[in-house]
Amino acid sequence: MNYPCTFTDQMGHQITLPHLPRRIISLVPSQTELLFDLGLDDRIVGITKFCIHPTDQVKQKPIVGGTKNFHFETIAQLRPDLIIGNKEENYKEGIEQLQQDYPVWMSDIYQLEEALQMMQQLGELTSTEPKAAELVSTIKNRFADFTPATPGISTAYFIWRKPYMAVGENNIIDHMLQRCGFSNCFAHLARYPEITTDQLRQANPLLILLSSEPYPFREKHITEFQELCPQALVKVVDGEMFSWYGSRLLQAPAYLEQVIKEVQQELSR
């Protein structure tokens, strides 16, 4: 590739790189894991406090704040030549401030197809196209063999407690629920609606999924929801498998199929 080179991100912004990026900061946990899986360990100079995979490698990297509160002085000291973020997970004001000083490439992901596009584009940005193409091909193949639940199962997916917040429409979790054959009973609402106990009872889902993130739902919370919806099957699920749109998608199909199998078995009893 001949530099300087111009790239367009998933929000339509253009960035120009004077040379191959060698000092990369990632502001999104799932994309951080992807960058490591693309073999960029030596070129990653900063991550957020929520970047937890791959476990051993992230421990060696400087923290530049959270996904919604950047430490600008730390970022300046790290002298990045590329910053990678996401429209939903990062905050607009912080990204705009960074864009004044650095090339910032933003993803914007609602479905699997956009996640795969992001991987291909980051491969181009970092000159790791062969590895990115291999990841994309493997993920495509694993989802091609994916078998959803039939008939569809009325489902509520919760991401927060006090107040209760569920998954609505137009986000990657809703997309994954659809792929599983789990019919999101709050898909007609906002992207992440606050839900009252009356709304939940009226929705009357057959299945309630409690995500392990961002709120750390545990087995102890199952009874709480069971009392609100005695007819529902309530399960705690690995939120990363429903919401991480980087290389964790390699593991998602097998995990989601296991969830589907367990749900079908338990509902048929």
Instruction: Give pLDDT tens digits for 132-189.
Output: 999 999 999 999 999 999 999 999 999 999 999 999 999 999 999 999 999 999 999 9
In a domain? residue 43: yes
pLDDT above 90 for 1: no
Label the pairing between strands 24-26 and 82-86.
parallel
| Among candidate residues 121, 143, 165, the one where a domain is terminated | 143
Q: What's the pLDDT tens digit per position in 88-105?
A: 999 999 999 999 999 999
The pair of structure tokens assigned to 177 is: 């629920």
Number of domains in the chain: 2
Same domain, 248 and 167: yes
Please determine, for residue 250, whether its predicted confidence score (pLDDT) is greater than 90: yes
Residue 122 lies in a domain: yes
246: nearest Cα among 6, 35, 19 = 35
| Average predicted confidence (pLDDT) for the chain | 97
Q: Does one domain contain both 227 and 177?
A: yes
Same domain, 182 and 122: no
Between CA 17 and CA 5 the distance in angstroms is: 5
Q: How far apart are CA 38 and CA 128, in angstroms?
A: 6
Q: What is the pTM (predicted TM-score) of this model?
A: 0.95
Residue 234, strand partner residues = 208
| Helix residue spans in 151-246 (DSSP H) | 172-180, 197-203, 222-228, 239-243
pLDDT of residue 269: 85
Q: How far is CA 5 from CA 66, 80, 144, 267, in A?
A: 30, 17, 34, 54
3-state secondary structure of 218: coil
The predicted structure's pLDDT at residue 122: 98
Any domain includes 14: yes
Range of the domain at 227: 153-267
Give domain status of residue 148, yes or no.
Answer: no
Determine the average pLDDT of the residues in 110-118. 98
